[in-house]
Chains A and B, each alone.
Chain A
Amino acid sequence: MLFGTILVFVVPSPWLVLAVLGLVLLAFPVAGLHLGQVRGTRLLTTTALLLGVLQILFVRQGAVLVQIGPLALTADGVKAGVYVAGRFLNVVFLSYLFVLTTDPNSLAYALMQMGLPYRYGFTLITALRLVPIFEQEGQIVYSAQLARGVQYDTRSPGRFLSLARQFFLPLLVSALGKVDALAVSMEGRCFGKYPTRTFLRVVHVTRQDVTATILLLLCLAATAGTLIAF
């Protein structure tokens, strides 16, 4: 994802941005995914188009292509439009590609085995574990508030703050309780006893990983080459 993002920001031509977008979209079927898994595709495309159109309308440099009354569509405007819309879509689809293809738990274990201190790795894993629990608890607290007659349709900022406090306090208290239990559980199993630890799970580099990395590196090198040449 990082490589792709860098690539899309350094490529020198707007048409290359579109080419990269094409590659990214092609990566979806290659990874066994389909674009339908990206939520809000329509909203994203509309936003991208809007961004593009704004650039086209308001960038006034460069040769005039079409003149409609006070509005002039310029070559630079079109370029800027394609750049912005293309980059936006690239980043969004790349992020989705990352989220849909990477198991964050495996990523954490892989990073730890690559040298990330294990304390940071387990911070990520704990977060992954607790987020769905807090989401569920948030739903319960909200239900409990409704059951006690709390009404959320308020416009007064003071009242809103008090509602927010009433909502977050139970979650905070529950989180603190969990931290106590977790601390006992981790120390009781010798977490932190040694500066390093062993790992049962070996995260393998697959042929796909190698191919993707080489391809992206080639693209980056080609771009860098072009940039230097010009």
Chain B
Amino acid sequence: MISIEGLGFRFQGSPQYALRGVNLDIAPGEFVVITGPSGCGKSTLALAIGGYLFRQYDGEATGRVRVAGMDVRQCPIYDVAEVVGLVQQNPEAQFCTLTVQDEVAFGLENRRLPREEIRRRISWALEVVGASHLIEQPLATLSGGEKQKVAIAAIMAAKPQVLIFDEPTSNLDPTATAEVFKVIAHIRSKARITVLVIEHKVDYLLPFKPRLVAMKQGGIVYDGPVTEAHRPRPLPARPPSRSPITTSAGPVVRVEDLYVGYNATPVLQGVSLEIHRGEFVAVMGDNGSGKTTFLQSLLGLLKPNRGRVEVLGQDTRHISVSRLARQVGFVFQNPDHQLFAESVWQEATFAPRNFGALDEVTQAQVEALLARCGLGDRQHDHPYRLSYGEKRRLNLISVLAYVPQLILVDEMLIGQDAENAAFLLELLRERVKQGGTVIMVNHDPEVTRRYASRLIFFNGSRTVVDAPTEEGFQQLAALGQEVYLPSIRRRH
């Protein structure tokens, strides 16, 4: 079905090859999982199989890609699109219309299919992904998981022979992730098509016994069945401190009966808790359960409708965000939304400069952090020239630089490979050991188990679990939140 010989590709302006010497043969109906650290070339490989790489991106290509007998580098993109469907990472970014029905119809209308046939295919495709009930909905009202199901249906409707999923769950919470993988399994059973899944979370796919292709630095380093060596091994838990430090200065965070939100139904309803110095708190829960709103409330970005929030003894209603920010660092979800300066050095020292705190000690600290994060010799580069993983490190450095007492982290690990994630978490852990406090919204139960001393779980705008991590997992198990449990606690 797919035959790749000696494929190499170098993006214009990049010194390194994104793909080098890739050889891969995939038979019709095979189920292949492509994995590897971020930046290893797996998404580039997907773009190459779909033909997009050779048309939409400037660069230097070598080798051959054949799909269903077509030479992908030569033939028109529309011919390849008849055979290969590509589901991308972010469902939001791939929508072309405003409603579910229009979206699934889009590709069929472009192919000039008659109305009756379009209708038939829409109901078939939505049924395959289990989203028939959404047909009349506007896309904007759907949850992340529903959006990705619709995106899959929109591709399935054209009945491709090859279906490629490029990290289809990286923006989703564990509940939605499990659902999307179920959909992929269902597609496999319903239609005999070739499926390629590019994914970090290999453990979800192991029950399907896929062929595993592992990539590193643009090349394939493993190609074969899944063996014991590929199964995730639980690492020892080592949260920094089991007992929070209570001082006479009072808790770092005190939240009393907090209600926040713009509409009639607040996003947070009646949340009360205290967080002390030296705690590493993991905040978990489905998307939309109020986790981000909770973090934003702690920095005063959102003010309470009812109740109160005190951070370091200051009521957030009576202090400006930029003043509170001097003691409270916030790492946002998307790295690109928080890069403001023109060089890596300027970016790393951006906040201390704004706070008037860029002294020699701080400069030395920033320099040490940059060196440790492998950015020491990139200080003059523009932040947007960094890789995704490097941007993430820079985001964290620019917060660590001014040593805030409390660090709020919102889903920093999305799209990060295990190595980079561990590196970032280690930096946070050290800060907690030095007496700082970290509150981190996170979807990965393994990360929570390994790093956090306390687990707070949001559900339906309230905290339903708030306990030391291990105890928190027991409570989650009792609540039936299986997908939020680390693998050693799962029943299957």
Chain A residues with CB under 8 Å of chain B are 105, 122, 125-126, 128-129, 132-133, 137, 140-141, 143-151, 166, 169-170, 173-174, 177-178, 180-194, 196-201
B337 within 8 A of A: yes
Q: Known contacts A166-B340, A184-B56, A188-B52; is A147 also within 8 Å of B398 by CB?
A: no
Q: Known contacts A151-B322, A200-B102; is A184 also within 8 Å of B52 by CB?
A: yes
B306 within 8 A of A: no
CA distance A199 to B101 in the complex (A): 11
Contact B94 A181 (CB under 8 A): yes
CA distance A122 to B107 in the complex (A): 13
CA distance A215 to B110 in the complex (A): 38
CA distance A122 to B92 in the complex (A): 16
CA distance A198 to B77 in the complex (A): 20
B78 within 8 A of A: yes
Closest to B82 in A: A190
Q: Mark B372-388, 1 if CB is under 8 A from A, else 0.
A: 00000000000010000
Q: Known contacts A132-B140, A148-B338; is A197 also within 8 Å of B354 by CB?
A: no
CA distance A183 to B154 in the complex (A): 15
Which residues of chain B (51-99) have a CB below 8 Å from chain A? 52, 55-56, 77-78, 81-82, 84-86, 88-90, 92-99
B112 within 8 A of A: yes
Q: Is the interface of B mostly helix, strand, loop or mixed?
A: helix
B336 within 8 A of A: yes
Contact A144 B118 (CB under 8 A): no
Of B126-134, B210-218, B327-335, B421-429, the one contacting chain A is B327-335
Contact B105 A190 (CB under 8 A): no
B355 within 8 A of A: yes
CA distance A194 to B340 in the complex (A): 42
Choice from B77, B96, B122 contacting A182 with Cβ under 8 Å? B96
Q: Known contacts A126-B96, A181-B93; is A141 also within 8 Å of B354 by CB?
A: no
Inside 8 A of A178's CB, which chain B residues have their CB? 93
CA distance A129 to B140 in the complex (A): 9
Contact B81 A189 (CB under 8 A): yes
Contact A149 B326 (CB under 8 A): yes
B141–chain A nearest beta-carbon distance, Å: 12
Inside 8 A of A192's CB, which chain B residues have their CB? 110
B351 within 8 A of A: yes
Choice from B50, B82, B90, B111 contacting A181 with Cβ under 8 Å? B90
Contact A170 B337 (CB under 8 A): yes
B80–chain A nearest beta-carbon distance, Å: 9
Choice from A151, A169, A191, A198 contacting B113 with Cβ under 8 Å? A198
Inside 8 A of B341's CB, which chain A residues have their CB? 166
Choice from B89, B139, B158, B329 contacting A147 with Cβ under 8 Å? B329
A137–chain B nearest beta-carbon distance, Å: 7
Contact B101 A200 (CB under 8 A): yes
CA distance A188 to B110 in the complex (A): 10
Inside 8 A of B94's CB, which chain A residues have their CB? 181-182, 184-185
Inside 8 A of A151's CB, which chain B residues have their CB? 322, 354
Contact B330 A144 (CB under 8 A): yes
B232–chain A nearest beta-carbon distance, Å: 29
CA distance A18 to B56 in the complex (A): 57
B115 within 8 A of A: yes
Contact B47 A184 (CB under 8 A): yes
Q: Known contacts A170-B339, A174-B334, A183-B56; is A190 also within 8 Å of B101 by CB?
A: no
Contact B96 A177 (CB under 8 A): no
Closest to A169 in B: B340
